[in-house]
């Protein structure tokens, strides 16, 4: 079946612009995660959605970062006023309710000039 999909695959933006990154989880997966993979920092958790519960935003690095999940499915990660240090690969993962295995999408490579 279809895996986790993310769009765009690559995004180049100028410093100060806003960007939106999209994630389509696997059908039936109620849990959705955003991670960031950057050089020297490895993979860092950003935000986690589980069903209709309030999201766990504890990993968001600043208030310029936000995410929403509409209808319990598609999620959008928004970065406002992008900075060069935001350049990274943003990964989305999803899983079944209370399951241990997360399935990752291919990522969006964000480059802030």
- Positions in 60-89 near other proteins (CB under 8 A): none
Size of the site for other proteins (CB under 8 A): 28
Q: Which of 27, 52, 70, 101 binds other proteins (CB under 8 A)?
A: 101
Does residue 43 belong to the site contacting other proteins (CB under 8 A)? yes
Does residue 52 belong to the site contacting other proteins (CB under 8 A)? no
Comparison of 43 and 113: residue with beta carbon closer to other proteins:
43
Q: Which of 45, 46, 6, 52 is nearest to 30 (CA)?
A: 52
The answer to whether 92 and 32 have CB atoms below 8 angstroms apart is yes
Q: Which of 7, 11, 13, 50 binds other proteins (CB under 8 A)?
A: 50
CA 37-42-44 angle, 5° bins: 65
Comparison of 16 and 51: residue with beta carbon closer to other proteins:
51
Which residues of the shown chain bind other proteins in the complex (CB under 8 A)?
Answer: 4, 31, 33, 35, 40-45, 48, 50, 56, 59, 91, 93, 95, 97-107
């Amino acid at each position: 079946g279809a895996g986790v999909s993310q769009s765009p695959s690559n995004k180049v933006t100028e410093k100060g612009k806003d960007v939106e990154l999209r994630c389509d989880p696997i059908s039936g997966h109620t849990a959705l995660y955003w991670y960031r993979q950057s050089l020297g920092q490895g993979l860092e958790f950003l935000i986690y959605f589980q069903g209709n519960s309030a999201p766990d935003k504890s990993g968001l690095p600043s208030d310029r970062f936000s995410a929403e999940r509409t209808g319990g499915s598609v999620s959008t990660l928004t970065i406002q006023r992008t900075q060069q240090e935001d350049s990274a690969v943003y990964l989305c993962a999803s899983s079944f309710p209370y399951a241990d295995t997360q399935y990752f999408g291919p990522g969006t490579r964000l480059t802030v000039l």
